[in-house]
Amino acid sequence: MFIYDGSFEGLLTAVFEAYRLRDFADITPAENYQKGLFEEARRVVSAADKAARVSARLLALSGDVLRVVQYCFLAGLADKEKIIFAYIRRTLSAGRSLNGNYADPVVAAALACLKKVAREAERLKGLLRFQELRDGSFYAAIEPEHCILPLLAGHCRARFSGQGWLIHDARRGIALVYQDGDLQLFDNSAVHNARDKHAAHELAYQELWKIFHQNIAIAGRKNPKLQKQFMPVRYWKYLTEKN
Amino acid sequence: MDLQEKLKILSAAARYDVSCASCGVSRVLPQGLGSAVSAGICHSWSDDGRCVSLLKVLLTNYCLYDCAYCVNRRSNDLPRAAFTPQELIDLTMQFYKRNYIEGLFLSSGVRHSPDRTMEELIEVAGTLRERAHFYGYIHLKVIPGAAPELVRLASRYADRLSANIELPSAPSLQLLAPDKKPQVITRTMELVASAAPAAGQSTQLIVGATPERDLQIVTLAEELYRRRNLSRVYYSGYMPVNTDRRLPALREEPSAAAEHNRLIRLREHRLYQADWLLRFYRFKAGEILSPEYPDLDEFVDPKTAWALRHPEFFPVEINKAGYADLLRVPGIGVRSAKRILQSRRFHSLDEQALKRIGVVLKRARYFLICSGQRLDSARQYTPATLYHFFTAQEKTLLPGQEQLVLLGG
């Protein structure tokens, strides 16, 4: 068993160590680790040079291979390390990208994992709701299943370059902050309730949006089941139109 | 009238416009507000389950015309309102900054004349682009009969333009919308095509208000895609909003109304499935329907219906068939067909592989073979048996239901 610190660099370091020691045991983050009775556990110390060698090797096979690993790392799934490690081993032993091979169970598992992450990121590009604060900046909170903040960064920067904004992943306590052309990801951010810091006209626009949302639906065709299928209830907490 | 009240009236007035797509154009600019992504983004879903991507409103619901099917027709007694351009610009910008929307879809009743209405729509779009530096999505409705230079100007500011064809045939249009001339609509669609907006042209037609069969509608759609190069055709199942002797009578009892509602939504759904076959599955209208089968089947999708009428085409060999043939198999969509082509370069495919690829085997298994082998539980059935099986929702086919071998062999 390899125990790593939960960082991407740590995970790749663990992969490096596994190959160096020819020991292909499971990799698990420290926060999930519970000592088994007869298990030998190695604590991996994250090392930038080792991680870089692994990512360079994957990149050499194809940019897509590294991308699969990066997306799967963002997954909020308990067995993501297993999926990633199996995928890396299968790909390295083939010596080429197997990404087109949906029939291979190991590759299919990694691609399915990537898809879950990518899909939630796409969804939240739509479902994100900003609120304007008194200082003219915009605040949004989300609680995604997967850690998709990094995947929103490029999209939001391209779209909202003229305003300062902050997207808070309340589930993980991290925040993506854009200010004066500068984009940063913060850990352990304690963002307080934005409600008492609203810009003067914020609530008026929220109200207008709700009015629009209500009136655009055809009353004779109400279909709450379909609505929930596209827009699962777990996202409603931060949706202006549902509060 | 305050802004809330106007928004209420003019969004309710726009809700029968079907399109809310924000796709077909990609744009990132260094300054200003907004971008466009080519696949489009849905920002919400309304209570009727439709995607909300754009702020879809009318500039005004005052209208000179008296089209029988339209909720905003002149003879209807209902509250009327009109936005000022500034109100619309402000709503669009503020909604966009909060990530409520991808952009604006602006349509309008014709208050004074087609040209004047078109000028007003263009003023909003032009001010958004040039003064407010808004680079999100803009879809403008083109008013039939608007001058050619106005259509060209609209396409400078808008990503997508649409002119509604309204009904599936010219006689129906003359009957229900005597103020609108079929030639004028056709001419306007030609003008839009030659102005070539970035994300193309779409149109919308009402089904179920007039007697056209599905064959006529699907054939019309094919012509619009192939000859007039449209990006999308939208079908709007007729919802009784007016009482008019030219229209199907309103069903008074709730059960009859509910049944009408169910059937018209189903018909709409089947038409969209047929539309997909035209656009993505390389089907021709004449393959989907024929004078012998003039309407889409209520119980199976049009691709399955085609497959059951063409047993000679099956089974398809998964490990050899080309893309076009794979697409003909019920249960194999565009994504699965592409994945099959990719995956079989590594290894020949079996049932497990197809499952991982995402093929809907429940349906597909009766129409394919893998390296010469049928999937084990798929015996050979007649189309009639399969039709019964697909529509009766039975769990398994009993061996006794096996009949003559028609599906290849």
> Which of A125-129, A218-222, B9-13, B208-212 comes out lowest in average pLDDT?
A218-222
- The set of residues, in sequence order, having a beta carbon less than 8 Å from that of B337 and lying 6+ positions away, is B323, B326, B327
Closest chain A residue by Cα to residue B337: A102
Residue in chain B lying closest to A108 (CA) = B356
Tell me which chain A residue has its CA closest to the CA of residue B46. Answer: A217
* B397 has a pLDDT exceeding 50: no
Look up residue B48 and give its two tokens.
């009727």
Q: What is the pLDDT of residue A190?
A: 64
Q: What is the pLDDT of residue A38?
A: 66
Contact flag A215-B8 (C-beta cutoff 8 Å):
yes
CB A138 within 8 A of CB A130: yes
* Residue contact A220–B239, C-beta within 8 A: yes
d(CA A238, CA A142): 7
* pLDDT given for residue B302 in this prediction: 96
Average the pLDDT over each of A75-84, A228-237, B166-175, B389-398 and give the range with the smallest value: B389-398
The helix/strand/coil state of B377 is coil
Mean pLDDT of B24-48: 87
Task: Round to whole Å and give the CA distance between B50 and B398.
Answer: 40
The string of DSSP codes covering B222-247 is HHHHHTS--SEEEEEE----S--TTS
Which residues, at least 6 apart from A20, have a Cβ–Cβ distance to it below 8 Å?
none
pTM for this prediction? 0.91
Residue A31 has pLDDT above 70, yes or no: yes
Q: Per the CB < 8 Å rule, is A216 touching B8?
A: no
Report the pLDDT averaged over residues B95-112: 97
The whole-angstrom distance between A171's CA and the closest CA on chain B is: 21
Higher pLDDT, B392 or B229: B229
Continuous H helices in B131-253 = 148-157, 170-176, 182-195, 214-226
Chain A positions in Cβ-Cβ contact with residue B206 (cut-off 8 Å): none
pLDDT at B393: 56
The per-residue pLDDT for B405 is 39
Give me the residue from A102, A103, A130 closest to B98, CB to CB: A130
Q: Which of residues 55-84 of A touch B (CB under 8 A)?
A: none
| CA dist., res. B120 & res. A128, Å (int) | 32
Q: What pLDDT does residue A13 have?
A: 97
Closest to B3 (Cβ–Cβ): which among A98, A104, A208?
Answer: A208
pLDDT number for residue A4? 95
Q: Which residues of A touch B14 (CB under 8 A)?
A: 216
What local confidence, expressed as pLDDT, does residue B243 receive? 85
Between helix B302-309 and helix B383-392 the angle, nearest 10°, is 160
| CB within 8 Å: A224 and B47 | yes
For residue B37, name the pLDDT band (cuts at 50, 70, 90). confident
pLDDT in tens, A199-234: 999 999 999 999 999 999 988 888 999 999 999 999
**CB nearest B98 (choices: A98, A129, A217):** A129
pLDDT band at residue A195 using 50, 70 and 90 as cut-offs: low
pLDDT reading at B406 higher than 70: no
Among A156, A221, A235, A240, which would you mutate to test the B interface (most chain B Cβ atoms within 10 Å of its Cβ)?
A221
Res A193: pLDDT: 61
Q: How confident is the model at residue A189 (pLDDT cuts 50, 70, 90)?
A: low
A to B CB pairs, distance under 8 Å = 156
How many Å apart are CA A130 and CA A227, to the nearest integer?
Answer: 22
Q: Do A227 and B358 touch (CB under 8 A)?
A: no
A127 — contact with chain B (CB < 8 Å)?
A: yes
What is the tens place of the pLDDT at every residue in A61-115? 999 999 999 999 999 999 999 999 999 999 999 999 999 999 999 999 999 999 9
Query: Which among B103, B55, B37, B45 has a CA at the least distance from the CA of A125?
Result: B37
Work out the average pLDDT over A182-201. Answer: 79
Contacting residues of A for B48, CB less than 8 Å apart: 217-218, 221-223, 226-227
- Spell out which residues of chain A touch residue B52, defining contact as CB-CB under 8 Å: 213, 216
Average pLDDT, chain B: 91
How does pLDDT run across B248-272, given as a tens digit for each residue? 877 778 888 888 888 999 999 999 9
**A157 at B interface, C-beta within 8 A:** no
List the domain boundaries for chain A.
2-120, 128-242
Q: Does residue A240 sit at the B interface (CB-CB below 8 Å)?
A: yes
> What pLDDT score does B133 carry?
95
Can you give the residue ranges of every domain in chain B?
Answer: 3-288, 302-401
Residue B43 has pLDDT above 70, yes or no: yes
Kindly compute the dihedral angle of the four CA atoms of residues A36, A39, A40, A45, in this order, to the nearest 10 degrees.
Answer: -40
Hey, are the CB atoms on B46 and A102 less than 8 Å from each other?
Answer: no
Min Cα–Cα distance to chain A from B305, Å: 25
Strands B35-36 vs B160-162: parallel, antiparallel or unpaired: unpaired
Amino acid at A116: K
- Answer yes or no: are the C-beta atoms of B408 and B314 closer than 8 Å: yes
Distance from C-alpha of A235 to C-alpha of A226, rounded to nearest angstrom: 15
The CATH superfamily label for domain B3-288 reads Aldolase class I (3.20.20.70)
Specify the pLDDT at position A157: 93
Give B190 to chain A, closest Cα distance, Å. 30
Is pLDDT at B20 greater than 60 in this prediction? Answer: yes
* Cβ separation B98–A132 shorter than 8 A: yes
Q: What is the DSSP string of B56-92?
A: EEESB---S---TT-TT-TTS-----B--HHHHHHHH
Q: Kindly report, residue by residue over B193-236, the tens digit of the pLDDT.
A: 999 999 999 999 999 999 999 999 999 999 999 998 999 999 99
Residue B140: exposure state from Cβ atoms within 10 A (0-12, 13-18, ≥19):
buried
pLDDT at residue number B404? 39
In percent, how much of chain B has pLDDT > 70?
Answer: 95
